[in-house]
């Protein structure tokens, strides 16, 4: 497979980075083609604005969605967006490696979705879900949390499961654009896990990576 890893953590010594490095090593070792979008290392711009387009459909009123559509047609996206869109087109499988902050993803990853998953590229009017433009591709989240799994229970402090927290990404982004979605890999409470706990997560993640093609889908078109 052609696998794109989108990595969204600022610290190269983080456990998220260790998971990313493991994924590159394991997947490459299995013969997959692997590319990495290290968003912080690339200095990826998170904020969506009029500078994302080399020319504007309407300079007096910037409708971002319509400007995306126009840029898809004319090929006038900013260069950093075009580079990422080419990676998406290339990939069979998109692996999102990210911490969970405030029941969501870091701003740099949200900005990647906002700017790169453009109208006409990943979805279009009348082309969502089973008609989404990323049909035939698969996606998966690999996440780290600061808190333990006990918080992510209906009766826990968050009163929400991890599936509910990740719903806007799994269903509202990846599945929305036509992708089949695998269950997330979750490394819980990495601050408190200790060296032994983190080593165990790495072992579990390796097993998941070795079985990507045989993992039962969470969301399937």
Class of domain 2-212: alpha beta
Please state, in angstroms and rounded to a whole number, the distance separating the CA atoms of residues 205 and 108. Answer: 24
pLDDT at 78: 98
Nearest to 97 by CA among 36, 20, 163, 31: 20
pLDDT at 40: 98
Please state, in angstroms and rounded to a whole number, the distance separating the CA atoms of residues 2 and 90. Answer: 7
Contact predicate 221/180, CB 8 Å: yes
3-class SS of residue 199: helix
Counts for the chain of helices (H) and strands (E), in that order: 7, 6
User: 71 has which bridge partners?
Assistant: none
Calculate the dihedral angle through the C-alpha atoms of 108, 123, 168, 77, rounding to the nearest 10 degrees.
10
Tens of pLDDT, residues 51-88: 999 999 999 999 999 999 999 999 999 999 999 999 99
Largest CA distance in the chain: 58
Contact predicate 91/137, CB 8 Å: yes
Rounded to two decimals, what is the model's pTM? 0.95
Tens of pLDDT, residues 158-216: 778 889 999 999 999 999 999 999 999 999 988 888 899 999 999 999 999 999 999 99
Nearest to 148 by CA among 137, 135, 134, 162: 162
pLDDT, average across residues 141-165: 84
Please report where in the chains the tokens 């992708």 appear, as a residue.
179
Contact predicate 112/45, CB 8 Å: no
Please state, in angstroms and rounded to a whole number, the distance separating the CA atoms of residues 123 and 133. Answer: 5
- Sign of the dihedral through C-alpha 186, 191, 192, 197: positive
- Sign of the dihedral through C-alpha 158, 159, 163, 164: negative
Please report where in the chains the tokens 């890999």 appear, as a residue.
185
Instruction: Point out the residues that are catalytic.
Output: 146, 152, 158
Q: Which residues contact 155 (CB under 8 A, 6 or more apart)?
A: none
Q: What separation, in Å, do the N-terminal and C-terminal C-alpha atoms of the chain show?
A: 20
Contact predicate 202/210, CB 8 Å: no
Tens of pLDDT, residues 2-57: 999 999 999 999 999 999 999 999 999 999 999 999 999 999 999 999 999 999 99
């Amino acid at each position: 497979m052609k696998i794109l890893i989108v990595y969204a953590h600022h610290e190269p010594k983080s456990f998220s980075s260790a998971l990313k490095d493991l994924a590159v090593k394991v997947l490459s070792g299995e013969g997959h083609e692997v590319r990495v979008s290290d968003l912080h290392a690339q200095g990826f711009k998170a904020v969506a604005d009029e500078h994302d387009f080399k020319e504007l459909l309407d300079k007096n009123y910037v409708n971002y969605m319509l400007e995306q559509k126009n840029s898809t047609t004319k090929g006038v996206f900013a260069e950093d967006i075009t580079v990422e869109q080419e990676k998406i087109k290339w990939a069979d499988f998109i692996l999102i490696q990210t911490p969970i902050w405030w029941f969501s993803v870091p701003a740099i990853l949200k900005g990647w979705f906002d700017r790169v998953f453009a109208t006409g590229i990943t979805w279009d009017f009348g082309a969502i879900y089973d008609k989404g433009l990323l049909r035939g591709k698969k996606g998966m989240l690999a996440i780290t949390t600061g808190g333990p799994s006990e918080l992510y229970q209906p009766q826990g402090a968050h009163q929400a499961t991890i599936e509910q927290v990740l719903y806007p990404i799994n269903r509202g982004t990846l599945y929305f654009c036509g992708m089949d979605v695998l269950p997330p890999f979750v490394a819980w409470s990495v601050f408190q896990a200790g060296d032994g706990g983190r080593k165990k997560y790495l072992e579990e993640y390796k097993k998941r990576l070795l079985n990507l093609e045989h993992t039962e889908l969470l969301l399937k078109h």
